[in-house]
Amino acid sequence: MVFQSTSALLFKMKIAAKEKAVFLDRDGTINEEMGYINHVSRFRIFNFVPKAIRILNRAGFRVILVTNQSGVARGYFSEQLVRELHHILIKKVEAEGGHIDKIYYCPHHPTEGTGIYRKDCNCRKPKTGMVDLAVKEFNLDRSASYMIGDRYKDVQFASKAGLKSVMVLTGYGRGEYEYQKGTWSQQPDFIFNNLLEAAQALSGLNRAEAENNSH
């Protein structure tokens, strides 16, 4: 009976254990910032991205993409193109030994466009709907998870969603940081040149935390 009770307890603890995640913005963080990506030829993934994601995988993080794609609502491109681009990204990462656990995207806009895509939804950042879904689906610990993006609005979004914020200086990042940081009401928790540097640093932090907890 003692063995059975202990096993049941360990099983419950395993079920209840929360996971860590790294949420990634897309344009400017994963791929070159080119405005609205309205054609496959304009989707240029940074060459360091697969390695960065592989490092995060091996560090024990769930890797989750969260991106606004209001170009769908505005009529600039179709939702099918968004899915096609994400398929390309997934295959490129997998070809180099990494994986993306989930991709959430918001095709809506509250005032632009017509039909089903014009609505004040809960998934469009800075609202936290996409993160909320991921937290439930993967049983995530928000306080131990990160948001990586190239915009100050990603920093604000991270705070609102209960995540630690990481700003990268690709995309709009360097310009926003150099010329606008003095006006920001809050600063990023971490700043790195690109996603690879961020992944390496977060992997190291996670490893150090694990070692401290084991003592």
Catalytic residue among 25, 120, 141, 150: 25
pTM over 0.85: yes
Q: What is the pLDDT of residues 43-77, one digit of tens each?
A: 999 999 999 999 999 999 999 999 999 999 999 99
Percent of residues, the chain, with pLDDT higher than 90: 87
Per-residue pLDDT of the chain (215 residues; tens, 9 = 90+): 444 444 444 444 444 689 999 999 999 999 999 999 999 999 999 999 999 999 999 999 999 999 999 999 999 999 999 999 999 999 999 999 999 999 999 999 999 998 999 999 999 999 999 999 999 999 999 999 999 999 999 999 999 999 999 999 999 999 999 999 999 999 999 999 999 999 999 999 988 887 777 66
- Annotation says 27 is catalytic: yes
Backbone Cα Rg of the chain:
19
What residues have CB less than 8 Å from 214, skipping those under 6 apart? none
E strand or H helix that includes residue 22: strand 21-24
What residues have CB less than 8 Å from 126, skipping those under 6 apart? 153, 156, 157, 160
> What distance in Å separates the CA atoms of residue 67 and residue 103, rounded to the nearest whole number?
8
Residues forming beta bridges with residue 45, ordered by sequence position: 31
Could you give all domains of the chain from N- to C-terminal order, each with its CATH number? 19-214 (3.40.50.1000)
What residues have CB less than 8 Å from 86, skipping those under 6 apart? 65, 103, 105
Catalytic residue among 27, 101, 141, 189: 27
